[in-house]
Chains A and B, each alone.
Chain A
Amino acid sequence: MKLYDYELSGNCFKIRLFLNILGIEYESQTVDFYPGLEHKSPEFLQLNPLGQLPVIEDEGKVLRDAQAILTYLAVKYDASGLWYPVSDPGRLGEVAQWLAFADGITGTASAARLHDGLFYELDVEAARAGAHRLFRILDEHLWFAERVGRDWLVPGDHPTIADIACFPYVALSEEGGIYRQGYPAIRRWCDRVKRIQGFVGMSGIFTTSHAA
């Protein structure tokens, strides 16, 4: 499997993280996203006309979009079926709901980070306000989940790709000036994600201590 990858991209990190958790070997092809803008090059646009990372090539199949790739990997490579519960419509629906939520986080928190770190021109105040609206919802959801002993976004005692999809741009949000101090349940959930067997960090996301 080949991953078209950029280290500082949270969307690429979702794939690296999940591949590592599943223990799948892959080849990483670094794309000079910044400052080279290689993802807008004609060659790359052949792979993904949207000009976005990540893209994977697996046994001849080319697939774009982080959430789509997570779904593909889970169904194809996770024999346990725990990461994407295809046989449980209720939970599957919730996974899909949080995958869409992850797109919302990308559109807000990731945008603010690109503005602050890489000088993208966009309305950063709107992006931050949008991220805070989502974080309030996420924190509330997680607080009530904890209350009934649930650790993850979707009911059940195992994380799903919903957690993988939502985690990176939440964990990187402070680079876009979106502080998580007011979201204690999100901060605890971040610790739990970091303790998933096979977790790796990225530039900007450190590992945490071992569980007691």
Chain B
Amino acid sequence: MTELKCTDPVILNQWHPLSSIDEITPGLIHSTMLLEENISYGMDTDGNAYAWPFDNQLPTRSRLTSKTVRNPLPIHIAHGYVWTSLGEPPETLFSFEEYYEADRINVPTGVFGVNVSAGRAVENFLDMSHFPYVHTGILGEEPHTEVKEYAVEVSETRDEVLATQCQFYQPKAALASEGGAMVDYTYRVPHVNCALLYKSSPNDASRSDVIYMFLQPMSQDWVRAHTGMCVIDEDNTYESIRYFQQVIFGQDKPILENQYPKRLPLDPRSETPIRADKTAIAFRRWLSRKGLRYGVIPAAA
């Protein structure tokens, strides 16, 4: 690729999700946008994935064969997704062991365009105190608005933000009962644009369901949000899981699209955190330390 519009090495050198494998029609060329560049991708009928800068000779929806790709981009297949990079990506991607556990169902719940920066979307994903107001009656409900103290650390070994011992009141928390209860959450941010949340499984208290959001930055303030769940669940159907996750995401979307400025401000004095925002504070500082500039408003030096 010639001149790239994005010049931030921190973001160029990441792996970025393009699509869940489920949503790729084998043998067909798909296209999308990544960091303001038009990108084509696809999988051949043998399960090999390819991605390349858009090429006039290879129009979208035409046939893909491995021979036709001229300037291939790096490819990584992991966690049910095809990932690529416009720079020099690391050898591996973050771990997501639960995805590979045999008794789980993995449900990609859809990819949505959101008019916001990746950082704002991740921060919303990490936030509990909006549950009673944005996900009323589903993930939270007044008057149960309190965020209890929880723990946040930046794991040095894994280079990820980790929030543990999070608890929040959820109405209709268990499938079996009507009543609300406190639900345990753990949050992981193992990648600048990816976050996972672990939530005690209503079917097996010793294990957690996982909900993830992998963001593909189309530009600094426009993302594709790849969402999905990885659950231990005999009762729910594929459709009901999708329905639940789309309802939740659809409720967050107008909030995200009304955040102003759209890029995530990293200067601690640009917005007002409270104790409940500990994870977000750690996330913003972690991004600052990485020197990220794309999709954020860096703190003035």
Contacts and interface: CB of A to CB of B under 8 A. Distances in A.
B125 to A, nearest CB: 16
A36 to B, nearest CB: 7
B108 interface: yes
30 contacts: A7-B243, A7-B247, A7-B250, A30-B239, A30-B240, A32-B239, A35-B108, A35-B110, A35-B242, A36-B239, A36-B242, A116-B113, A116-B115, A117-B112, A117-B113, A117-B253, A118-B112, A118-B113, A119-B111, A174-B254, A174-B257, A174-B258, A177-B115, A202-B250, A203-B246, A203-B247, A203-B248, A203-B253, A204-B254, A206-B254
Contacts of B242: 32, 35-36
Contacts of B110: 34-35
A65 interface: no
B251 interface: yes
Given A30-B239, A117-B112, A118-B113, A175 B246 contact: no
Contacts of A174: 254, 257-258
B246 A7 contact: yes
B113 to A, nearest CB: 5
A18 to B, nearest CB: 20
A203 B239 contact: no
B142 interface: no
- Say what secondary structure dominates the interface of chain A: loop
Nearest to B252: A203
Contacts of B248: 203
A154 B42 CA distance: 52
Nearest to A29: B239
Contacts of B240: 30
Contacts of A203: 246-251, 253
Query: Could you say which of A7, A36, A174, A203 has the most chain B C-beta atoms within 10 Å of its C-beta?
Result: A203
Contacts of A30: 239-240, 243
Contacts of B113: 116-119
Contacts of A119: 111, 113, 224
Nearest to B23: A35
B251 to A, nearest CB: 5
Contacts of A202: 250
A151 to B, nearest CB: 24
Interface of A: 7-8, 30, 32, 34-36, 116-119, 174-175, 177, 202-204, 206
A158 to B, nearest CB: 28
A32 B244 CA distance: 12
Contacts, number: 53
Interface in B214-272: 224, 238-240, 242-243, 246-251, 253-254, 257-258
A118 B110 CA distance: 9
Nearest to A203: B250
Contact of A175 (B224, B239, B247, B257): B257
A118 B113 CA distance: 6
Contacts of B224: 119
Interface string B10-49: 0000000000001100000000000000000000000000
Contacts of B22: 35
Contact of A8 (B115, B238, B246): B246
Contact of B253 (A35, A177, A204): A204
A51 B113 CA distance: 23
A35 B246 CA distance: 10
Contacts of B250: 7-8, 202-204
A176 to B, nearest CB: 10
Nearest to B258: A174
Nearest to B22: A35
Interface in B92-122: 108, 110-115
B252 to A, nearest CB: 9
A159 B186 CA distance: 47
